[in-house]
C-alpha cells in the first residue's frame, strides 16, 4: 500500500471556520474508503502557526510538539464546534526580507516527506502558497478571511460568522441608541474591500454605510443625518469599514509601519466619523469598534458547512494531483481555480452597482443608484 503525507496549516488572521476545514481535511484524507478505492494511505501532519512552523521545524529531531503535530480523525472529532484555529496561526512570510527563508521552507517540506501542503488562508497566506508552488511545492489553498476579498470564489471561511456578530452587536446598540437619541458609528473590519460593512450594514438596517471603495464626504454624512432627524428618527446606526476614508483623505491607522504581509494596522475611522458628526450636527454621537470580536466565537452553521465542503474538496485535489489550485465556490458549486489567478488580486465591492453612493447605503436595484437615465422608468400612477 502506497503511503502519502499531507501537511495542513492555517495562516494570517484567525476566524471561525478554520477548525471545521481542518477536521474535514483530516477525516477525508484518512477515510478508510479512500484507502480501499485509491490504494493510498494518507497521513496528515498539522503545521503549527502558519508558514512559521515550516521555517522553524527541525526535521532531524521531529520537534512535533512545537511545530508539527500528527492528526487523526479522533483528535479532530470535535474541532468543528470551535472558533479560531487549533493549529495556531501567524502572519509570518518566508519571503519577508527580514526572514528570507523560502529555500529552507521548501527543503523542510521535502525532508518532512510532505507530498502536499494545504494552506488555509487569505491573500497573504495564499500568495506564499503560490510562490512556493512556483518553487515546486505541491500546494493547495482553501480560502478564508472575514473580509471576503479573495477573487474567484463567492465565499471565504469566517465571513458569515463575522456578519452575524455585526448584526448581533448592532441589535444591542439599537436599544441604548434609541433610549438616548444618540448616533452610533460602528467600525467593522474590511481593509480594501467593504463587504463586511456593506452586507453587515444591509443585514442590520444601518442608516449609513461607508466603504473603502467609495470615498465619502463628511458634509454629506452630516446632511443625511440631519435629514433623518428632521423626518423624525430618534437615533442612527452608521456602519463604517476600517479602510473607508473621506474624499481627499487617507486611511486611519492605529500605528505606523506594516506587518510581515506588508499590511498597515488600520483602525480609528469610526471615532473620526463620530467626532466629525458631533462637531457638524451637534448631535450626541458615540463610536464602537467591533474589531476582533468579528473574528471570534464559534463558527455559524454556514461556516461549519463550508469548512467541511472546502476541506473535502482540498483533499480531492490532492488525490487527483491537481496542485497549484485553490478550492472555491461559484454559484453554489464547489470547484477550484489556479492559485496564479488569485495572486495579487482582490475582490472588491463594485460601488457603481452594489452600493447606493447617493444615500451612502446598500444596494436598491430598482432605484438604480439615482442614475438619471432610469430615474423616470417607473411613472407615477395617474388618477
By CB under 6 A, name the binding residues for ligand F6P: 12-13, 122, 145-147, 189-191, 242, 266, 295
Element (H, E) at 139: strand 139-143
Interior/surface letters 141-160, b for 16+ CB within 10 angstroms, e for the rest: bbbbbbbbbbbbbebbbbbb
Reported residue count of the chain is 383
Minimum Å gap between C-beta 160 and ligand F6P is 14
Minimum Å gap between C-beta 191 and ligand F6P is 5
Q: Are 363 and 353 in contact (CB under 8 A)?
A: yes
Q: Any idea what DSSP says for residue 11? A: -
**Cα 310 from Cα 144, distance rounded (Å):** 10
Task: Determine the longest span between alpha carbons in the chain, in angstroms.
Answer: 87
User: At which residue does the C-alpha cell 493510498 appear?
Assistant: 40
Which member of 147, 149, 303, 356 is catalytic?
A: 147
Minimum Å gap between C-beta 294 and ligand F6P is 7
**Cα 10 from Cα 144, distance rounded (Å):** 9
**Cα 154 from Cα 87, distance rounded (Å):** 26
- Taking CB atoms, the residue at the shortest distance from ligand F6P is 189
Minimum Å gap between C-beta 122 and ligand F6P is 5
Nearest to ligand F6P of 147, 213 (CB atom): 147
List the grid coordinates of 32. Answer: 478508510
Minimum Å gap between C-beta 312 and ligand F6P is 25
**Cα 177 from Cα 16, distance rounded (Å):** 29
Contacts of 181 by beta carbon, 8 Å cutoff, 6+ apart: 234, 235, 284
Q: Is 147 a catalytic residue?
A: yes
Contacts of 233 by beta carbon, 8 Å cutoff, 6+ apart: 207
Minimum Å gap between C-beta 316 and ligand F6P is 27
What would the DSSP string read from start to end of 54-80? HHH--TTTT-TTTTEEEE-TTTTTTGG
Residues recognised as catalytic: 147
Amino acid at each position: 500500500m502506497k503511503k502519502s503525507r499531507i501537511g495542513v496549516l492555517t495562516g494570517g488572521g484567525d476566524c471561525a471556520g478554520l477548525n471545521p476545514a481542518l477536521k474535514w481535511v483530516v477525516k477525508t484524507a484518512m477515510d478508510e474508503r479512500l484507502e480501499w478505492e485509491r490504494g493510498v494511505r494518507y497521513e496528515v501532519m498539522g503545521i503549527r502557526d502558519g508558514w512559521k512552523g515550516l521555517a522553524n521545524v527541525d526535521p532531524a529531531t521531529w520537534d512535533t510538539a512545537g511545530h508539527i503535530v500528527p492528526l487523526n480523525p479522533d483528535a479532530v472529532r470535535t474541532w468543528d464546534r470551535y472558533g479560531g484555529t487549533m493549529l495556531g496561526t501567524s502572519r509570518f512570510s518566508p519571503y519577508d526580507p527580514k526572514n528570507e527563508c523560502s529555500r529552507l521552507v521548501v527543503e523542510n517540506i521535502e525532508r518532512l516527506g510532505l507530498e502536499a501542503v494545504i494552506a488555509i488562508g487569505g491573500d497573504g497566506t495564499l500568495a506564499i502558497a503560490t510562490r512556493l508552488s512556483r518553487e515546486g511545492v505541491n500546494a493547495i489553498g482553501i480560502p478564508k478571511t472575514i473580509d471576503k476579498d479573495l477573487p474567484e470564489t463567492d465565499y471565504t471561511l469566517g465571513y458569515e460568522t463575522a456578519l452575524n456578530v455585526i448584526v448581533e452587536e448592532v441589535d444591542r446598540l439599537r436599544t441604548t441608541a434609541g433610549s438616548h437619541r444618540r448616533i452610533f458609528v460602528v467600525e467593522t473590519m474590511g481593509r480594501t474591500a467593504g463587504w463586511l460593512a456593506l452586507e453587515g450594514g444591509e443585514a442590520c438596517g444601518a442608516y449609513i454605510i461607508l466603504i473603502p471603495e467609495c470615498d465619502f464626504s463628511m458634509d454629506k454624512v452630516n446632511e443625511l443625518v440631519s435629514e433623518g432627524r428632521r423626518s423624525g428618527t430618534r437615533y442612527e446606526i452608521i456602519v463604517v469599514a476600517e479602510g473607508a476614508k473621506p474624499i481627499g483623505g487617507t486611511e486611519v491607522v492605529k500605528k505606523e509601519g506594516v506587518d510581515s504581509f506588508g499590511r498597515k494596522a488600520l483602525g480609528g475611522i469610526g471615532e473620526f466619523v463620530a467626532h466629525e458628526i458631533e462637531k457638524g450636527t451637534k448631535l450626541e454621537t458615540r463610536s464602537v469598534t467591533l474589531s476582533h470580536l468579528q473574528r471570534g466565537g464559534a463558527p455559524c452553521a454556514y461556516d461549519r458547512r463550508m469548512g467541511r465542503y472546502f476541506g473535502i474538496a482540498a483533499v480531492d485535489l490532492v488525490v487527483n494531483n491537481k496542485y497549484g489550485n485553490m478550492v472555491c465556490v461559484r454559484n453554489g458549486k464547489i470547484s477550484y481555480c489556479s492559485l496564479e489567478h488569485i495572486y495579487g488580486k482582490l475582490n472588491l465591492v463594485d460601488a457603481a452597482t452594489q452600493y447606493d453612493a447617493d444615500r451612502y447605503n446598500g444596494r436598491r436595484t430598482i432605484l438604480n443608484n439615482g442614475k438619471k437615465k432610469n430615474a423616470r422608468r417607473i411613472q407615477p400612477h395617474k388618477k
